[in-house]
Amino acid sequence: MKPALLGLYVLVAGLWLLELASGASGINLAAALADWWHNTASVARIILFEVRLPRALLALLVGAALASSGAALQGLLRNPLASPDMLGVSQSAALLAVCVLYFGYSRLAWFVLPLAALCGAALAVLLLLQLTRRLASAQALILAGIALTALTSALTTFALDYAPNPYALQEVYFWMLGSVANRSNAEVLLALPFFGVGTALLLSCRRCLDALSLGEDTAATLGYPLSQYRWRLIVGVACNVGAAVAVSGSIGFVGLIVPHVLRPLVQSQPGRLLWWSLPGGSVLVLLADVLVQHLPGTQELQLGVLTALLGAPFFLYLLLKQRS
């Protein structure tokens, strides 16, 4: 394994431990682990296993899912500005999740909520694929993404406003900016199968993404016609983004920044980038979540605020670099 990749995994492990050690109550990790080992009940043990562990796991999984989806979308659409939140994929997932959650349908079965989010994400990707066909320019795709993002965000706020639950509208920040706070192990188990399937599907498309560097036609002649891989990519992205949004809202910039930063390290190979985006995404989200818990202030910020603070200036820098 390349040393840089190994370094990424080490960073993931380190940040994960740091995340476990972070929280509003100053519990002693060692004491909590000792309690668990000796099977004694204690508040420290409860906090570690029921509050911090799911949070750390979700940060890790959501980060990997969003970053790999970003890498897959960039490879599929051959556009470095593509990512789930830039193109409205996350927001579409959030819209369907909100509709299902606040109008009661999510109670029908455990998988209804992530499935709805998944459908929202899939529809968005399908729409974008169609647009790529018709509009040859990369700019047009981004504009379409901006329009889709604006539309779905507005519809989400609309749906929350009309939901029977009077508290719904206050939760718009969660859906728009995302958070992994106050999650439980139930959410981890809910999302895990979707992350697993999604990541497996995306990883099976690595060679196709490499071949696509030369364009769809040449990729077909190299043995990787997009028609054979398209559904895997759509469903893969939808599973990852859908599950991530269902449990943690729409966290922005992860799918954009991580592939960009890692691209030079993999010599722009889209297939390798997919692999590297997994730990890369975990690093970013874990880092952002650790910062969110340590920043001074009376209330904890939403995670998306921090990824935006890290990502938006970077995005502007990218645009400036493209011009020149």
Nearest approach, Cβ of residue 206 and another protein (Å): 10
What minimum distance in Å lies between the beta carbon of 87 and another protein?
17
Site for another protein, residues 159 to 188, rule: CB under 8 A: 164-168, 170-171, 174, 181-182, 184-186
Q: Does 78 bind another protein (CB under 8 A)?
A: yes
* Part of the chain binding another protein (CB under 8 A), chosen from 58-66, 127-135, 193-201, 216-224: 216-224
**CA nearest 242: which of 119, 72, 160, 63?**
119
Q: How far is the CB of 4 from another protein (least distance, A)?
A: 17
Binding mask 116-155 for another protein (x = CB under 8 A): ----------------------------------------
Block residue for tokens 């999650």 = 183
Number of residues that bind another protein (CB under 8 A): 54
Q: Please, what is the minimum distance in Å from the beta carbon of residue 101 to another protein? A: 5
Four-CA torsion 248, 251, 255, 261, nearest 10 degrees: -120
Residue window 219-258: x/- pattern of binding to another protein, with contact defined by CB under 8 A? -xxxxxx--x------------------------------
Residue 189 neighbours by CB under 8 Å, 6+ apart: none
> Among 68, 69, 91, 106, which residue interacts with another protein (rule: CB under 8 A)?
106
The residue range among 17-25, 122-130, 193-201, 315-323 that interacts with another protein, by the rule CB under 8 A, is: 17-25
Cβ neighbors of 22 (< 8 A, separation 6 or more) are 52, 290, 293, 294
Q: Of 10 and 17, which has the nearer Cβ to another protein?
A: 17
Nearer to another protein, 220 or 312 (CB): 220
The conformation of residue 22, written as its DSSP 8-state character, comes to -
What is the distance between the terminal CA atoms of the chain, rounded to a whole angstrom?
35
Minimum gap (Å) between residue 221 Cβ and another protein: 4
Find the DSSP H helices in the chain.
3-20, 29-37, 43-46, 53-77, 89-102, 112-134, 138-162, 172-177, 185-203, 206-212, 216-221, 226-248, 254-262, 270-294, 303-323
**Smallest gap, in angstroms, from Cβ of residue 191 to another protein?**
13
Stretch that binds another protein, among 30-38, 294-302, 304-312, 314-322 (CB under 8 A): 294-302
109, 297, 298, 324: residue in contact with another protein (rule CB under 8 A): 298
Instruction: Report the sign of the C-alpha dihedral through residues 2, 279, 145, 204, in that order.
Output: positive
Structure tokens at 304: 């998306």
Among 263, 268, 267, which residue's Cα sits nearest to residue 280? 263
Among residues 70, 88, 120, 270, the one that binds another protein under rule CB under 8 A: 270
Cβ atoms within 10 Å of 26's Cβ, excluding its own: 7
Q: By CB under 8 A, which span of 30-38, 139-147, 205-213, 307-315 interacts with another protein? A: 205-213
Q: Residues near 9 by Cβ (< 8 Å), separated by ≥ 6?
A: 279
Alpha-carbon distance of 73 to 71, in angstroms, equals 6
Binding footprint of another protein on the chain (CB under 8 A)? 23-25, 27, 41, 43, 46-47, 50-52, 78, 101-104, 106, 164-168, 170-171, 174, 181-182, 184-186, 207, 210-215, 217-218, 220-225, 228, 263, 267-270, 298-300
